[in-house]
DNA sequence: ACCGCCGGGTGCC
DNA sequence: ACCGCCGGGTGCC
């Protein structure tokens, strides 16, 4: 059970005194305390998949008098423990889907329920079958869900208090009260829920594809016309919430049973807003309401757009970029007006008008541009704006560092001087910690890392002191890992509106989507219970209604443009062709000898681990062997780190041990293996290494240790774990420019020869063509520099260790079309992240295969993206008969896995282990 | 709540 | 009457 980072209340009928999701209005008051109570955000409901329905029980909700929460017949309610209730420590609150309290469970029943919930024996879900309009009490039909092994304890506890649960009825496995609705009877103890009607992976995958297919269809009416008739598009999926904490009008997402069960909660009249919100600050219920559109949204983004009705393209210096009027492949910061979906056609008109606004953003004066170039902490004072409005008016944009400069460029390029905007780039050591200063801006731009580190250093984050008009998460899927500091930091921002821009809203499972919803604070789905009851469980069980519900939800909160989007049958974006070639490289006799020697040695060691059954205990060593082999495929000089793969020796001093561990961790992290944390199965955040040399996220492994006290064991090798033994990764010291001019004489390698041959050939054909040379090994890139110079290539370089300023220079330099600008960029595979735009290149040379094929694809997309005018040719160098070829086959496996991965259960820890072991076998030919 | 329960007022027929 | 009965006040947890 090590991998379950259970918070005190995760997923169990909300036995917390408050919920930061179901009570969005108070979460601001909680502030940093939320950071401590991470239970709700630590997404750990994988166990819920194992839950079965124990049975049903009828009870009563009392005290309706005293609460405002309303329900309708057949509607679901949430049960929430209230241990601090002064009258009864067993108190169980009953809340409606909006998180408003309806009443309490009658105390006699609350007593056993409290015990069951507190001890996590079952998760209790409720439906009000009738009597919803009663004045004082109403019935509640409860269903109890839990692990089979806890069933008897639940039955006993209820019996102890004189309650007898009715056994589950057939067809009620989904917990939608379908038993109530169908009226079918007949006890069934035999069929546990998860075996019922589970869909195959393929089915789910195709269903999910349909989800987006339909969305595209739907979008046809809303495609955006760009300036001068050009078509705008984006490959970003855009999620937007409507209002902080405002419930999603439920009638929008009703379909079939969902409606019956879920009902038009708190909705007074059809299409009306939830009753309970009438006294809340509902911007839409009053003013523009249903006709509020994207345009209105943008108007607050760019306050004076209406004054600049006509496009000012005459003023623009670079008309080539006219298609991109917003950063990042024209991420269109649009937001769909949730309550007005019925007026979709109307909205579509406004979409079109809106693009007029987009084009109205003309280029700023050269002077301003220049000024804006001095980023860092300099405030880009474009002009003042109207201060008469009340409330927050600053938009906070959070993006990965790699796209920070894109945003700055795009904002400055497309904002005309008469659209007065204050932009502050909250970045760098000198960033102002003055909330006042920030609140005076129109837009504050920052990165996830800054957000997280500010948040981490408690009390010192001006970002978290302010109330924002809007918080925009660019590449918002970065908050997928609920345990990541940046996720918590983002969740705790206060904003009136929240937007997420992402191209990959769902990467592994539906839970990814939930993380986004929880940021959007989209009621009721931001609450785990509702999410799970209404979407996740039904969908993974293969319930059609659940899928429709999910589809409906997605439709209502997303805007999507894909590369394939069409308007009137015409593709919106015609990306040039992209071809991938694999070029095999044969090692020289000399290289082969070295390779073979290292391979034999490594193979020997690894097969010994296999026979001992200690492969995973020596995982870092195994990776080390593989790394050396991969390096040897590139160039013999790469393989200089002969740090022998002796285990963590016994006779080491603590300092030596520490250093060894740090080196191992660096090896794991830098080997490009895209290691995941075996606890959260997500990519490593805040990596630490154990004494047994396994790397985990710090929060994950700490939780493991905490929960398994006092004898915590390593999830991967069952060695003893101790908190004080964890070694943190020292801050990446900038090895930039510290790449020592190797003492060794420069020598070529087969791969370098192959590359140089290709480059020179290419130059003969077309001297202007620009290339990316990509490798995971920065030292390899350095080695490539020598022949490039010798052959007179002008090149630039971009790798992860470069400071932001240098990066920007390198990118701008490379993207320039001026004669004499570099034709080659040496690029480290992981540098830059998603948004990096290198469309000047039309050729890519991938020098070494990556573990993760997605990383390669992402890299290719840096030039094969909006703005690319030429066909893109990618050449992957792969050494014949080597670990690289084996990596390709693993890549293929991963691709297949990824294609079918959606909605399948998270692999268990042992599955993860087995996969790793199999991979190692494949890689080293065992 | 068109109930249950509580506790004060009351007390033959 | 240390009861029963009546009828008003009252009402979640």
- Give per-residue pLDDT as tens, A586-607: 999 999 999 999 999 999 999 9
Residue among A141, A95, A149 nearest A122 (CA): A149
Pair of tokens at residue A56: 């049903």
Residue among A369, A306, A304, A296 nearest A333 (CA): A296
Facing residues of A873 across strands? A579, A843
- How does A367-392 read in b/e, with b if 16+ C-beta sit within 10 Å? ebeebbeebeeebbebeebeeeeeeb
CATH class of the domain defined by A204-246+282-570 = alpha beta
Crossing angle of helices A853-860 and A883-899, rounded to 10°: 90
How many angstroms separate the CA of A268 from the C1' of B4? 33
C-alpha dihedral (A253, A258, A259, A262), degrees to nearest 10: -100
Which nucleotide lies at the shortest CA–C1' distance from A103?
Answer: C12
Residue appearing with tokens 């979460």: A27
Report the relative pairing of strands A379-381 and A824-828 from DSSP bridges. Answer: unpaired
Residues with CB under 7 A from strand C: A 62-63, 65-66, 85, 87-88, 90-91, 103-107, 110
Cα dihedral across residues A319, A320, A323, A326: positive or negative: negative
Q: Which window residues (307-346, chain A) lie with Cβ within 7 Å of strand B?
A: none
Q: Where in chain A is the domain with CATH 3.30.70.2330?
A: 27-195
Report the relative pairing of strands A566-567 and A570-571 from DSSP bridges. Answer: antiparallel
Q: Where in chain A is the domain with CATH 3.40.50.300?
A: 750-923
pLDDT < 70 stretches in chain A = 1-47, 49, 170-389, 413-419, 458, 503-505, 507-508, 559-574, 640-652, 670-676, 681-683, 731-743, 832-835, 898-907
Look at residue A660 in the predicted model and tell me its pLDDT.
Answer: 79
Asked if A533 and A506 touch (Cβ cutoff 8 Å), the reply is no
Asked if A237 and A334 touch (Cβ cutoff 8 Å), the reply is no
Which nucleotide lies at the shortest CA–C1' distance from A89?
Answer: C13
How many angstroms separate the CA of A473 from the C1' of B13? 88
Give the burial class of A896: count Cβ atoms within 10 A of its Cβ; 0-12 exposed, 13-18 middle, 19 or more buried: exposed
Distance of CA A459 to the CA centre of its chain: 26
Encode A535-548 in three state secondary structure. HHHHHHHCCHHHHH
How many angstroms separate the CA of A367 from the C1' of B11? 102
How many angstroms separate the CA of A48 from the C1' of C12? 31
How many angstroms separate the CA of A134 from the C1' of B9? 34
Per-state percent for chain A, helix, strand, coil, to nearest 5 = 40, 15, 45
Look at residue A178 in the predicted model and tell me its pLDDT.
Answer: 36
Q: How far is it, in rounded angstroms, from Cα A96 to Cα A261?
A: 12
Which nucleotide lies at the shortest CA–C1' distance from A66?
Answer: C12
Is A66 within 7 A of strand B by CB distance?
no
Alpha helices in A766-869 (DSSP H): 778-790, 804-815, 853-860
Is A65 within 7 A of strand B by CB distance?
yes
Task: List CB contacts of A530: < 8 A, sequence separation 6 or more.
Answer: A76, A78, A97, A524
How many angstroms separate the CA of A740 from the C1' of B6? 90
Work out the widest C-alpha separation in chain A, in whole angstroms: 89
Residue appearing with tokens 């089915």: A203
How many angstroms separate the CA of A136 from the C1' of C5? 29
Give the burial class of A259: count Cβ atoms within 10 A of its Cβ; 0-12 exposed, 13-18 middle, 19 or more buried: middle
Is A869 within 7 A of strand B by CB distance?
no
How many angstroms separate the CA of A29 from the C1' of C6? 53
What is the CATH code for A750-923?
3.40.50.300
Bases on strand C under 7 Å from any protein CB: 12-13
What is the CATH code for A27-195?
3.30.70.2330
Distance of CA A499 to the CA centre of its chain: 13
Which nucleotide lies at the shortest CA–C1' distance from A111?
Answer: C13
Which nucleotide lies at the shortest CA–C1' distance from A63?
Answer: C12
Is A137 within 7 A of strand B by CB distance?
yes
Which nucleotide lies at the shortest CA–C1' distance from A62?
Answer: C12
Q: Where in chain A is the domain with CATH 3.40.50.10810?
A: 204-246+282-570
Pair of tokens at residue A439: 């609140």
Bases on strand B under 7 Å from any protein CB: 1
Q: How far is it, in rounded angstroms, from Cα A724 to Cα A516?
A: 34
């Amino acid at each position: 059970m090590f991998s379950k980072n259970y918070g005190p209340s995760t997923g169990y009928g909300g036995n917390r005194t408050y919920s930061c999701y179901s009570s969005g209005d108070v979460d601001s008051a909680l502030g940093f305390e939320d950071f401590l109570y991470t239970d709700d955000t630590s997404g750990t409901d994988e166990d819920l998949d194992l839950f079965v329905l124990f049975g049903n029980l009828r009870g009563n909700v009392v005290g309706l008098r005293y609460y405002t929460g309303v329900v309708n017949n057949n509607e679901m309610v949430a049960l929430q423990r209230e241990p601090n209730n002064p009258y009864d420590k067993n108190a169980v609150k009953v809340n409606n889907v909006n998180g408003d309290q309806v009443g309490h469970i009658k105390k006699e029943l609350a007593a056993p329920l409290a015990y069951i919930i507190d001890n996590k024996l079952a998760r209790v879900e409720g439906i009000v079958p009738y009597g919803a309009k009663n004045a004082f009490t109403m019935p509640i039909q409860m269903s109890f869900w839990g692990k089979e092994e806890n069933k008897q304890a639940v039955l006993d506890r209820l019996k102890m208090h004189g309650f007898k649960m009715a056994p589950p009825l057939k067809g009620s496995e989904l917990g939608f009260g379908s038993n109530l609705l169908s009226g079918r009877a007949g006890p069934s103890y035999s069929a546990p829920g998860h075996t019922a009607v589970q869909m195959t992976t393929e089915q789910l995958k195709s269903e999910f594809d349909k989800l987006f297919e339909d969305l595209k269809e739907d979008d046809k009416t809303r495609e955006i016309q760009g300036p001068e008739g050009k078509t705008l598009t984006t490959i970003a999926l855009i999620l937007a919430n409507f209002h902080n904490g405002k419930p999603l009008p439920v009638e929008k997402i009703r379909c079939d049973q969902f409606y019956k069960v879920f009902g038009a909660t708190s909705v007074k009249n059809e299409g009306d807003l939830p009753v309970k919100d009438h006294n809340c600050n509902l911007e839409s219920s009053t003013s523009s309401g249903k006709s509020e559109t994207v345009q209105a949204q943008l108007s607050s983004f760019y306050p004076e757009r209406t004054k600049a009705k006509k496009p000012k393209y005459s003023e623009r210096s670079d008309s080539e970029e006219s298609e991109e009027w917003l950063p990042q492949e024209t991420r269109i910061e649009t937001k769909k007006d949730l309550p007005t979906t019925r007026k979709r056609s109307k909205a579509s008109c406004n979409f079109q008008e809106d693009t007029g606004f987009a084009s109205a953003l003309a280029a700023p004066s050269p002077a301003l541009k220049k000024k804006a170039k001095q980023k860092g902490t300099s405030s880009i004072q474009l002009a003042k704006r109207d201060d008469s409005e009340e409330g927050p008016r600053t938009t906070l944009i959070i993006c990965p560092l790699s796209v920070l400069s894109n945003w700055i460029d795009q904002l400055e390029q497309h904002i005309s001087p008469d659209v007065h905007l204050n932009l502050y780039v909250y970045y760098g050591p000198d960033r102002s910690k003055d909330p006042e200063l920030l609140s005076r801006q129109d837009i504050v731009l920052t990165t996830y890392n800054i957000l997280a580190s500010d948040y981490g250093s408690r009390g010192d984050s001006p970002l978290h002191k302010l109330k924002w008009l809007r918080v925009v998460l660019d590449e918002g899927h970065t908050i997928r890992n609920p345990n990541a500091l940046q996720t918590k930091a983002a969740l705790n921002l206060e904003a009136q509106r929240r937007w997420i821009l992402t191209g990959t809203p769902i990467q592994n499972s539906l839970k990814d989507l939930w993380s986004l919803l929880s940021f959007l604070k989209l009621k009721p789905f931001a609450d785990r219970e509702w999410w799970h009851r209404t979407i996740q469980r039904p969908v993974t069980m293969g319930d059609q209604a659940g899928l429709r519900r999910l589809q409906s939800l997605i439709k209502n909160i997303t805007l999507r443009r894909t590369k394939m989007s069409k308007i009137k049958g015409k593709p919106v974006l015609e990306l040039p062709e992209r071809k991938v070639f694999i070029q095999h490289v044969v090692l020289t006799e000399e290289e082969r000898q070295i390779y073979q020697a290292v391979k034999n040695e490594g193979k020997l060691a690894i097969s010994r681990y296999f026979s001992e059954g200690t492969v995973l205990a020596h995982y870092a060593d195994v990776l080390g062997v593989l790394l050396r082999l991969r390096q040897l495929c590139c160039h013999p000089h790469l393989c200089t780190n002969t740090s022998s793969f002796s285990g963590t020796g016994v006779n080491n001093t603590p300092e030596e041990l520490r250093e060894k561990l740090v080196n191992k961790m660096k090896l794991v992290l830098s080997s490009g293996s895209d290691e995941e944390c075996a606890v959260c199965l997500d990519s490593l955040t805040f990596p630490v290494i154990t004494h047994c040399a396994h790397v985990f996220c710090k929060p994950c492994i700490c939780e493991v240790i905490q929960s398994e006290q006092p004898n915590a064991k390593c999830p991967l090798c069952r060695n003893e774990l101790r908190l004080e033994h964890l070694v943190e990764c020292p801050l990446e010291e900038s090895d930039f420019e510290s790449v020592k001019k190797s003492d060794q004489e420069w020598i070529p390698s087969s791969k370098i020869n192959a590359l140089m041959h290709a480059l020179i050939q290419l130059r003969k054909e077309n001297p202007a063509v620009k290339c990316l040379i990509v490798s995971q090994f920065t030292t390899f890139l350095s080695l490539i520099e020598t022949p490039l110079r010798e052959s007179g290539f002008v090149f630039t370089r971009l790798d992860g260790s470069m400071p932001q300023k240098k990066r920007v220079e390198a990118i701008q330099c490379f993207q320039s079309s001026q004669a004499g600008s570099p034709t080659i960029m040496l690029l480290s595979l992981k540098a830059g992240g998603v948004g990096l735009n290198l469309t000047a290149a039309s050729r890519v040379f991938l020098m070494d295969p990556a573990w993760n094929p997605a990383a390669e694809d992402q890299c290719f997309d840096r030039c094969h993206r909006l703005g690319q005018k030429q066909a893109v040719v990618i050449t992957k160098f792969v050494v014949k008969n080597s670990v690289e070829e084996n990596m390709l086959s693993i890549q293929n496996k991963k691709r297949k896995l990824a294609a079918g991965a959606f909605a399948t259960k998270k692999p268990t820890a042992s599955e993860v282990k087995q996969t790793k072991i199999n991979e190692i076998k494949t890689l080293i030919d065992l």
